Amino acid sequence: MDRYVVFGNPIGHSKSPAIHRLFAEQAAQQLEYSTQLAPLDGFSGCAREFFHQGGLGGNVTVPFKEEAYRLCDELTPRAERAGAVNMLSRLADGSVRGDNTDGEGLVRDLMANAGVELAGKRVLLLGAGGAVRGVLEPLLEQEPAALVIANRTVEKAELLAEVFAELGPVSASAFGVLAEPFDVIINATAASLAGDLPPLAASVIAPGRTTCYDMMYGKAPTPFLRWASEHGAAQALDGLGMLVEQAAVAFQYWRGVAVNTAPVLALLRAQLREG
C-alpha cells in the first residue's frame, strides 16, 4: 500500500488523515495516510526512517516546518523563500523534495471558494511569524495594489517586507497606526489561540466591502472574526478551507489527480459544528 503521513507534535487532533482519506475515496485511489507523533527533538530521524521504509510523502505541521525545510535534499522556490516546508515527497532516486503549499491553499480558498479578488486590492496581513512567511509569495503573485504586514514586533514585519520586496509592493507597519480601509485582512497571528485580538482601529474595515480571514478555525468564530462581523465585514472566513485546499495541492502532486474540495470541506465543516 502507498503510504503517506502527517508529522507533528501534538498530532492527535489532525484532520489531515480524514481529508486525504476522503480525497482518496473520491479519486478511487488506494493509499494509507496516518498521523505520526514525532518527538520534539526527533523529527528528522522519524522523517528519514519513514522514507527509508518506503513512505511516499508526508505533511508537516507545528512545530516542525522549519526543521523539515533543513532536512530536504531539494526545495521548490516558494518553500525556499518561505524557509518552511509543510509537504515532503520522495523522488524516484530516493531523495526528499520539500514544498510549501500553505500559501496556495490560502489563495485558492480566498479566490475559488470565497470569490475574493486579490489583484489590485489592498491586503493587510497580521503577524510576522512562520505562518505569514509561508503565504507571502503566493499572495504577492496575485498582484495586489499593496500588501501591508502589521505585527506587534514591528522589526519582524520590516525584515519580512525587505526579504519579499522584490516580489511586489509589500511594506511593514505597527498595528496602532493603521486607519485606512483594506479590501482583505488576513489574521496570521497566534493571538486567537489566547482568545486575544490584534489592536486594530475599526476603520481598517470598509463595511460591506472588506473580507476578513483568520487562518485559525474552531467550533466558534475566533475573536478576530467576531470583531470583523461586529464592524460590518462583507465576509468573515476561518482557515478550515485553507487546510483542505493545501491538502488538495499535495494530493494532486502525489497522485496526479485533481480533487473536488467542496464536499470534503462541507463534511469537515459539519463535523466541526457538531464536535
Q: Which residue has the cell 509592493?
A: 169
The DSSP code for 232 is: T
By CB under 6 A, the residues from 95 to 134 that bind ligand ATR are: 127-131
Question: Is residue 134 a contact partner of residue 122, using CB atoms and an 8 Å limit?
Answer: no
Note the helical H segments in the chain. Answer: 16-26, 43-52, 65-71, 77-82, 102-108, 130-141, 154-164, 223-230, 240-255, 261-274
**Cβ 268 to ligand ATR, closest distance in Å?**
21
Report the residue number, 191 or 247, with the smaller CB distance to ligand ATR: 191
**Site for ligand ATR contains 156 (CB under 6 A):** yes
Q: Examine the residue annotation and report whether 121 is marked as an active-site residue of this protein.
A: no
**Site for ligand ATR contains 196 (CB under 6 A):** yes
**How crowded is residue 127: how many other Cβ atoms within 10 Å of its Cβ?**
24
Choice from 191, 228, 247, 249 touching ligand ATR (CB under 6 A): 191
* Closest C-alpha to 163, from 67, 80, 72, 68: 80
**Cβ 8 to ligand ATR, closest distance in Å?**
13
The residue type found at 106 is L
**Site for ligand ATR contains 151 (CB under 6 A):** yes
The count of chain residues that interact with ligand ATR, using the rule CB under 6 A, is 16
**Cβ 1 to ligand ATR, closest distance in Å?**
33
The DSSP code for 142 is: T
Report the residue number, 127 or 239, with the smaller CB distance to ligand ATR: 127
**Site for ligand ATR contains 152 (CB under 6 A):** yes
**Site for ligand ATR contains 200 (CB under 6 A):** no
The residue type found at 58 is G
Query: Which residues contribute to the site for ligand ATR (CB under 6 A)?
Result: 127-131, 151-153, 156, 188-191, 194, 196, 198
Q: Annotated active-site positions, please?
A: 65
